[in-house]
Structure 1
Amino acid sequence: MASEWHTLASQKLFLAQTLLRQRPEQPGPAHEAHLQGCIELALRARQTLLALLANYYQHKHQRPSNLAELQALIGAEATDSRALAELENQAGSWWNHLEQLAVHQSRPPAKKKTVSDDNIIAVAVDTGPERSPEALERTLAGMKVFLADLAERHEEW
């Protein structure tokens, strides 16, 4: 059963990479659709990874939706729990990037204020997480490496 979850996670990552590579170069609705689709597939792959881990730890019918739920199932001291917790707290890691993207993607776009002579004030605008194709490619590649390492560790038993 674990191999099916691994296959599904790998498939989602492959589809995300394929969608990312086929995006139109010009900004517009199709470009945005490709980026958001890639992000959604990566988030789905992360959910599948959590189910895979639950399965590896003999919780075959559990589907944790986040790291806290996984840790409640397998223990916070389990090797894989600790590895994911480190990734969660490490700026620039694939897990941390996906967490930022999940939050950003689940919120409506910020309203842009109009500029006039009366309201010109310098303010920092939250631009959200890095959504460039290069950043998404790094995140997908990091996740793919983690998934391969995970399978190698667990499937040697």
Structure 2
Amino acid sequence: MQTLTQRISCLVKITGDFTMSFPAGITCILTTSPIAPVLSFRLVNIAQVDHFLPNQKLLYSDPSQSNPDSRDLWFNMQALNVYLQREAELNPQASYYNVTLLKYQVSSQDPGSAPFAALTNVQVLMALDHTATDLQCQPPAAW
């Protein structure tokens, strides 16, 4: 009998959005202030993040920053004001507005780092070059 033993590696990719909430009253502050201060923020502990995709309509970032574990971003205040005013017109009763600022991706080779429950009824199709017999699967599965 022939035994098929093959180690299957796993790469977990986690993607997400970074969203910031603004109170509805901020539109009045931004439109009545003669010179609105530029809002900025810093992301820290980001060495493990593979990819960033900032909302280019709303954010500026200097990709040449020297510290690989942090990133400074600042708002295009005119674009933010226009965006929030439009949200206020579309949702006049809202008490706050969520703004997606960036998308990110983190990778890990540890399947335990995946943020979901155990998978069931998963089908894996593999092309085999040879006839396989005496197959064993951990955890147990139906072939």
Q: TM-score, normalised by structure 2?
A: 0.24
Higher helix share: 1
Between the two structures, name the one with larger relative contact order (CA 8 Å, sep ≥ 6): 2
Q: Which of the two has greater strand per residue?
A: 2
Looking at CA atoms only, which structure, 1 or 2, has the larger radius of gyration?
A: 2
**Normalization by structure 1: what TM-score?**
0.23
